[in-house]
Structure formats: C-alpha cells, structure tokens
Structure 1
Amino acid sequence: MSRPASTPASPPVYLLPGWQNSDPEHWQSRWERELGHCRIEQSDWDWPRRGDWMARLDEVLLNDARLLQTPALLVAHSLGCQLVASWAEHSRHTARVAGALLVAPPDTEREDMPPQLHNWRPIRRSRLPFPAIAVVSSDDPFCAPERAAQMAADWGAQLVLAGPRGHLNTASGLGSWPEGQALLAELS
C-alpha cells in the first residue's frame, strides 16, 4: 500500500508595514484580517529605529519553530522594504526566509524625508539572499520610479511596474489587492 504524497506546508507570511504602520483599510491590514497573515509589531511606529526593528524581525523569526521546516515569506510595504534590505545584510538567520514581496520602497536618502527617517540612511543595497519581487508605482510620492528600479536591481528583485498607483497604500484604492496576492503566490 502506497502512502499519500506529503504536501509541503504553506509558508508563514509576515507583514512588515511602513512608517506609522498600516491603517485598517490598507491592503496589509486586510490581508491580516482576511488571510491570517501576521504583522510584525514594533515599539515606535512614529520614530522607527532601524537597528531595533531589525532585532525585532530576528526575534520573531527565531521564535517561530515552523520556520525550521518551512521558511517564511516577508511582505513589506514602504519603509518595511528598507527593513528587509537592512536585516538581510546583517542577519545570520536569512535561511528562515523563502522570499520577499517588496512594495513601494521609499527613497530614504531624499532631502525631503521626515527627520524620523534619517536613521534609515544610507539605503542598504546588497543583493538579497532569497528571491524577491519589488512592486513600484510610476507616481509614488516617496520615490522616483528610476530610484525604485535601481534599488530592485541592487537587491536582485524582480521588478513589477504597477503604473500610476501612488504609494500603493489605502489612498491607491487597492482594496484587498488581489494582484499583490498573486505576486506573493509566485514566491511560495
């Protein structure tokens, strides 16, 4: 009698919001409610410290025993993209991540960035040690598309051009953003 083939478990999905967190109608918040994905909280959403947030990501990933069998997927929006790049450059635990969806990476090196984000300079540009997809809008108010495309290239991420969709947030009218869910499925 043959045994049924085992199916791999679905990878856990961790949401990494941007500066000031994702509001209740943001697609990340909808994914958390509708799909059961887990948001990684931090101590101060208004004054995010890069090192503190990197340590928090390491802590969450190290405490999830499921990741020994099935690495996680990271879904980052805005400053969360910069977190993934910074974390991946310094962490010794990147094997716990199978891939990352990086949405609307901001240009934290711009002169008009709020002072709360100055500790996110310089942008980390090392190639990510896992597959990634970067979704970029042509009219993102926080990053010129050329700069976002260069970050994606530096990170080794597949670039997806979303057209004129703003910062790919609640104001963009994405709802539950099924296109983003389809991109995430490509990484699993």
Structure 2
Amino acid sequence: MSKTMIVPGLDGSPNPHWQDWWARTDPNAMIVDLPDPRRPVREAWEAALAVMILRHPNSILVGHSLGSVLIAQMLARWSGLRVRGAMLVAPADPLAGTDGCRRIRRFGPLPDMALDVPTVLVASRNDPWMAFDRSRDLAEALGADLIDLGHAGHVNVASGFGPWPGGKVIRDRLLDQTERPSVLRRWLGQAAAVRPRLTGA
C-alpha cells in the first residue's frame, strides 16, 4: 500500500492536531520532519520534503496550511517527482497580508500551473489564512478538485479539529482515483458526507 506522507504547516502539528492523530493511528502514515517549524525557511523545507519523497516514492502527500503550499510548489517546480497524489488542506496564502504571514512570506507567490498528479484541495469558507474564493481559484489553477468543508475555520485545533476520520476518507478516495480516474469526480457532489464533526458541535 502507498505511504501517506503528512506535511505539517507553520508551528507544526502537535497533539491534538488531526495530522498528529492521523500519524498515530495509520501504520502507513508518517509525518515529515520539517526543520524549525516556527521559523520556516523555504529552501530547508523543500530539501526535507524532497528527501522523503525520494525515499518513499509513489506516496500520497497530505499537507495542511503552509505544508499544502510547500507540496504545491514542489510539484509545480519538479514535475518528475514520483508522487501518487496530493491532498492540500486549508492552504495558507503567504501574501495575504495577515499577521502570521510575515513568517511565511518567502513561500509566496502561490503556483498557478496545473499539477501532473491527482490533487484535491480541501477548503473552508471562513479560513482566516485564505479566502474561499482564493481557494477556489487556486484549485482551478492547480487542476485540483475542490472539496468545500463549509465553515471549518483553518481546519486546525482552534477550529475543533483533533481526530478527523473524514480526512482519511478523502485520502482513500484519492488513492482509488489514481487507479480509476473517474471515481473522484462522481463523489465530489457528496463531499458533505466526509465533513468532520467539530468539537462541541
């Protein structure tokens, strides 16, 4: 079975973040150890991810926030990388002008070319790190399928996301799509079925 390579964003994804939960509950998943997650350096993060992709070819990449941006940029720049698919969750816009963006500005601008691997972009309608319209435009530019999680914040702990079984469902269907390319298109209209249950809901 293909490995799932989990790529954290700014400040990492410690417990109880859904990425940490996923890595602990999925024997085929691993978290990419990105250097200095509080003060990210684009070149260092790219090198760390490239090494992991070379060690584990044909993996599914699952990124959150800045991790999603890193994945998109890597795949746009290095089309020869052996990646089975990419799942980009709540990408953060490095040039959006929010307070936190000063630490990630060097990761901009976002790529604007279609990726050559099956890609899903999972977006929220009230994400402070990227407006939903911008997420939709990015998905179109990348040739990615867009999944609308509704009002899910930044899909992080502050938004109520610890365990997120729906994320694994999206990954599994992305895996299926790489074998049968028409599958993902058929279930996108039912994306609400994989929306996570927020804490306190």
Which TM class, normalised by the smaller chain length?
0.7 to 0.9
Q: How much is the aligned-residue C-alpha RMSD, in angstroms?
A: 1.3
- From 120, 127, 144, the equivalent of 2:131 is 144
1:97 aligns with 2:97: no
Which residue is equivalent to 2:8? 17
Partner of 1:28: 19
* Alignment check: 8 A CA contact 1:98 1:187 kept: no
- Percent identity reads 33
Of residues 123, 142, 145, the one that matches 1:158 is 145
Structure 2 unpaired stretches of 5+ = 176-201
Larger RCO (CA under 8 A, 6+ residues apart): 1
Partners of 1:46 and 1:93 in 2: CA distance: 30
Q: Say if 2:127 and 2:154, in contact at 8 Å, map to a contact too.
A: yes
- For residues 15-40 of structure 1, the C-alpha deviation after alignment (integer angstroms, 9 at most, x for no partner) is 00110101210110000111131111
Q: Answer whether contact 2:68 2:89 (CA < 8 A) is retained.
A: yes
CA contact (8 A) 1:107 1:148 kept: no
Structure 1 residue runs of 4 or more that deviate by more than 3 Å after TM superposition: none
- Secondary structure of the 1:100 match is strand
Structure 1 equivalent of residue 31 of structure 2: 39
| 2:118–2:144 Cα contact (<8 Å) kept | yes
Q: Write the letter of the residue equivalent to 1:105.
A: P
Name the residue aligned to 1:174.
Answer: 161
Q: Within 1, Cα distance between the matches of 2:79 and 2:62? A: 20
Structure-1-length-normalised TM-score: 0.87
Distance 1:145 1:92, change over 3 A: closer
Choose the corresponding residue for 1:130, options 117, 129, 132: 117
User: 8 Å contact 2:153–2:159 — kept in the other structure?
Assistant: yes
Gaps of 5+ in 1: 1-9
Q: Partner of 1:185 in structure 2? A: 172
Q: SS where residue 114 of structure 1 aligns? A: helix
Q: How many residues align?
A: 173
Mapping 1:66-81, distance limit 5 Å: 67=57, 71-81=58-68
